[in-house]
Amino acid sequence: MADSRDKTYNVTCTTEDAEYVLYTCPAACRAKMNLLYVTNTGSASTDLSFEWDRADGSHAHILGAKNISSTEFIQWSNGYIVFEPGDRLLVTPSGASTPHVDALCTVEEVFQNSRS
């Protein structure tokens, strides 16, 4: 049986057009992300993009240029994404000169033993 843990990761995004790494799946691990939450705590609307950067070189755009107003939030919790070792979840704020976006995710990380 593999060991697992539940863990929450967060990032605060304060630079326009900067790519922030919200989550990176550890080596020898698979992770199930069951919560993704983002809120705009800045004073102006901002656009948000989320990208799944796969370790195999492919990419999936989870959300592209979604505009959220000040104090608005987005929550995904009715499904999950399975990450493989080295997969990353990236968030990029744009369209606001001084964004302030907080993003968090909760994952279950399952560490693979050497027999897997």
- pLDDT tens-digit series, residues 15-33: 999 999 999 999 999 999 9
Q: What is the pLDDT of residue 1?
A: 56
Cβ count near 28 (within 10 Å): 13
Whether the per-residue pLDDT at 74 is higher than 90: the answer is yes
Tens digit of pLDDT for each residue in 41-51?
Answer: 999 999 999 99
pTM of the model: 0.91
Q: What is the pLDDT of residue 96?
A: 85
DSSP strand pairing (46-53 vs 59-68): antiparallel
